Structure 1
Amino acid sequence: MAKEKKAKEKPDRKMVAQNKKARHDYHILDTYECGMVLTGTEVKSLRQGRASLVDGFVQIDGGEAWLHNVHVPEYAQGTWTNHSARRKRKLLMHRDEIDKLDSKSQESGHTIVPLALYFRAGRAKVEIALAKGKKEYDKRQTLREKQDTRESNRAIAAARRRQRAQQRP
C-alpha cells in the first residue's frame, strides 16, 4: 500500500540527480518545481543520468531565475555543438513565484538551492527550495534525532519479535 501512495505522489518521475547535502546543510522552508532552458546536448547528457547539483544555487537577476554551478558533463558524442559543463541555465517559473522567491531570499540567512533534477513526462525539471542555513549544532541535533529514532524503532521491533516468539510455543 505504501508503494501505491508513492506512485500517486510522484508519477513518472525519472530521477537524474539529487542534492542530499542540501537537506543536511539547510532547513527547507518551501519547494518549487520548475523547467529549465537546455540545449540538445545537455538533454542527451541528462538522459544518460549524468549531472551534479552539489555546488548549485539559484539567483534571481532582472526578474528571471538562473541556476548556477550545476555540472552537466559534455555529451560524449557531441561535436562543436557541445555545451559548457557549468554554464548558467534559465529556470522557467511563473512571475508570481519568482517575485515571491526574490523577496524571501533577500532576508538574512535565506538562499535558494536545487534539491533534485529529474524528467517528468519527457521534460527536464528541477526542484528548488527556499532554504535557511543550519548552524553546526542544528546539524548535530538532526543527526542525534535520526539516531534516536532508529534505535527506538530497533527496540520496538526486537520487543515485537520476542513477543511473537513467546506466543508461538
Structure 2
Amino acid sequence: MKKPETDPVIARNRKAAHDYHLGETWEAGIVLQGMEVKALRAGRASLIGGFAQVENRELWLHAVHIPQYAQARWFNDGSRRKRKLLLHRAEIDKIERKVNEGALTIVPLTLYFKDGRAKVEIALARGKKTWDKRHALAEREATREVERAVSRRRKGRPD
C-alpha cells in the first residue's frame, strides 16, 4: 500500500511574488537523474534565481539548485545544470508565443512531488519596477496596521 505524503512541497520561490507580476501558471514534469530525486526527497532544493527558457521547441529550467546527495557516488553531476521540463507541445508553443510577444519571463514558483513524480509550477511573469515593490510593501503595511487596530478595538483596548 502506498503511504500518503504529508508535505509534498520541496521548495517555494517566495521572492518571485516580490520581484514579478505573476500571470498564467502551469504544472510541468521535470526530468531528473537518480541522485537528484533522492536529494529532493531529503527536502533540499532552491528555486531562487531560477528561470525557464524555450530552446528548440523544448522548455528548459535553468539555475535551480539541487544539491548533491551525500550518500551518492563521488562523481555527481552539477547541481545547477539545466533540466528539461515536460509539457504538451501546444502548451510550450503558447508559452513561447507569449514570451516573444511581451517582455515576459518564465519563473518557477514551487517544486513538489505529486503521485511520486517531481513537478514544478511555472508562471509567466513581468518584472516589477522598484517603485512597484515599494508600493506593494506600503500597501501590505497599511493593511496590517488596519488589522491591528480592528483587533485592538474588538478586545476593548484603546488605540
TM-score by length of 1: 0.86
Secondary structure of the corresponding residue to residue 28 of structure 1:
strand
Asked if 1:160 is matched to 2:151, the reply is: no
Give the residue type in structure 2 aligned to 1:149. Answer: T
Alpha-carbon offset, residue 109 of structure 1: 2.3
Secondary structure of the corresponding residue to residue 109 of structure 1:
coil
- Equivalent residue number for residue 101 of structure 1: 95
Give the residue type in structure 2 aligned to 1:63. Answer: R
Alpha-carbon offset, residue 95 of structure 1: 1.1
- Counterpart of 2:15 (choices 13, 21, 30) is 21
Gaps of 5+ in 1: 1-10, 164-169
- Counterpart of 1:145 (choices 131, 134, 139) is 139
Alpha-carbon offset, residue 17 of structure 1: 0.8
- Counterpart of 1:64 (choices 58, 66, 77) is 58
Alpha-carbon offset, residue 157 of structure 1: 1.1
Task: Compare 67-76 and 105-114 and name the one that shifted more.
Answer: 105-114
2: CA distance, partners of 1:12 / 1:134 = 34
Give the residue type in structure 1 aligned to 2:92. Answer: I
Report % sequence identity: 56
Alpha-carbon offset, residue 21 of structure 1: 1.0
Asked if 1:75 is matched to 2:69, the reply is: yes
- Equivalent residue number for residue 119 of structure 2: 125
- Counterpart of 2:25 (choices 20, 27, 31) is 31
Conservation of the 8 A alpha-carbon contact between 1:12 and 1:120: no
Conservation of the 8 A alpha-carbon contact between 1:112 and 1:128: yes
Secondary structure of the corresponding residue to residue 27 of structure 2:
strand
The 3 A distance-change label for structure 1 pair 13 and 121 is: farther
Conservation of the 8 A alpha-carbon contact between 1:42 and 1:83: no
Structure with the higher fraction of residues in helix conformation = 1
1: CA distance, partners of 2:16 / 2:101 = 19
- Equivalent residue number for residue 84 of structure 1: 78
2: CA distance, partners of 1:51 / 1:38 = 13
2: CA distance, partners of 1:155 / 1:161 = 10
RMSD of Structure 2 on Structure 1 (CA): 1.6
Alpha-carbon offset, residue 120 of structure 1: 1.4
Task: Compare 146-155 and 104-113 and name the one that shifted more.
Answer: 104-113
2: CA distance, partners of 1:28 / 1:86 = 24
Secondary structure of the corresponding residue to residue 42 of structure 1:
helix
- Counterpart of 1:45 (choices 30, 39, 42) is 39
1: CA distance, partners of 2:117 / 2:66 = 16
Alpha-carbon offset, residue 147 of structure 1: 0.6
Task: Compare 36-45 and 103-112 and name the one that shifted more.
Answer: 103-112
Task: Compare 96-105 and 11-20 and name the one that shifted more.
Answer: 11-20
Conservation of the 8 A alpha-carbon contact between 1:41 and 1:83: no
| Count of paired positions | 153
Secondary structure of the corresponding residue to residue 162 of structure 1:
coil
